[in-house]
A = this chain, B = another copy of it.
Amino acid sequence: MQDEPEVTVLRYGHRPGRDDRMTTHVGLTARALGADRVVFPDNAGQSLETVEDITGRFGGPFTVELTDRLNAFIRDWEGVVVHLTMYGERVQDVEEAVRERHQSEPILVVVGGEKVPFEVYEEADYNVGVTNQPHSEVAGLAVFLDRLFDGRELEREWEDADRTVIPKATGKKVVEPGSAEAAAVGDADADADANADDA
């Protein structure tokens, strides 16, 4: 987030077709929950397009990139490498150490897709389990970021958005930022529905 050392999320591994939605959700979760950038494997161009599209409409800054060198990206990272895995140390035991290092160092959060090679476990400064149970890389990433930022990510502001959702007890309200009497865009235009599923 602005005024903090960078946080980048690296999606390690992607199977086109099969993983499209999961990879897209990793990217959208990274964006929504305070990361500055997501990096996908170079065969995940479709997920890149979706995340860029959402960023164009709902605002940034947020960067999406592809890489064809996942291992080198991790090896060359100048800062702290956190690898999320159900085999790692308990998040509640290491989060404070990671938060402290994030005060001065950029963080790379590696999120596994297909099987992650042992090299990644070795390169990581922290292998971290959000529970030691099998669940979802998207869920693990979400809880990790919320704890890394200590909830500050929920207060972040968005620049250059075409539309902004106004929190509402019942129903949906979407406005164009900056419009004097921010005009309500009706339900019919809610093409970016809760999960960007069809994005």
Contacts and interface: CB of A to CB of B under 8 A. Distances in A.
Interface of A: 21-22, 25, 28-29, 31-33, 54, 58, 84-93, 112-116, 118, 121-122, 124, 126-127, 129-143, 146-147, 151, 153-155, 158, 164-174, 190, 192-197, 199
Given A154-B92, A170-B127, A112 B21 contact: no
Stoichiometry (number of copies): 2
Given A21-B22, A127-B169, 19 more contacts: A22-B25, A25-B135, A25-B139, A32-B133, A33-B139, A58-B133, A84-B194, A86-B193, A87-B168, A88-B168, A88-B169, A89-B168, A113-B197, A121-B170, A129-B167, A133-B165, A134-B199, A137-B195, A138-B142
A127 B167 CA distance: 9
A122 B172 CA distance: 12
Top 3 A-B pairs, shortest CB-CB distance: A139-B142, A25-B136, A132-B165
Contacts of A143: 33, 142-143, 146
Given A91-B154, A142-B143, A154-B91, A135 B195 contact: yes
Contacts of A172: 87
Given A127-B169, A169-B127, A170-B127, A194 B134 contact: yes
B142 A32 contact: no
Nearest to A30: B135
